[in-house]
Amino acid sequence: MDTIVINELEAHARIGVPDSERGKPQRLLISVELRSSFGEAAATDDLSKTIDYDRFCRDLRAHLAVGQWKLLETLAEQIANKAISDFGANSAVVEIKKFVIPRTKWVGVRIERLMSEHST
């Protein structure tokens, strides 16, 4: 399995359990591993045979701009599902970091979803 890695994409979203935390967008760092087979893309040098990570990042930022979430887990699940259903990844690993707890560098969540899990 081949992997495209998006490491710490900086984005902003309204996320947090208390209403006050969702009151304004806060900084997130989002890392995503998009797994699939990229042999045909490598052999043909054809973007349509791989995952367009630029479009994925633009779509992700647009999604974050219009929604709001209480849990990082919910957002991570949505990102993984989008990678599989809209971008053709066989699996996706999503890690989201936020900077909300005093005296911690960050708090976050990391999930992995497989295509077979997504279709059930």
- Just list the catalytic residues: 98
In the numeric block, which tokens belong to residue 99? 């900077």
Max CA pair span of the chain? 51
Name the phi and psi angles at 26, rounded to 5: -120, 155
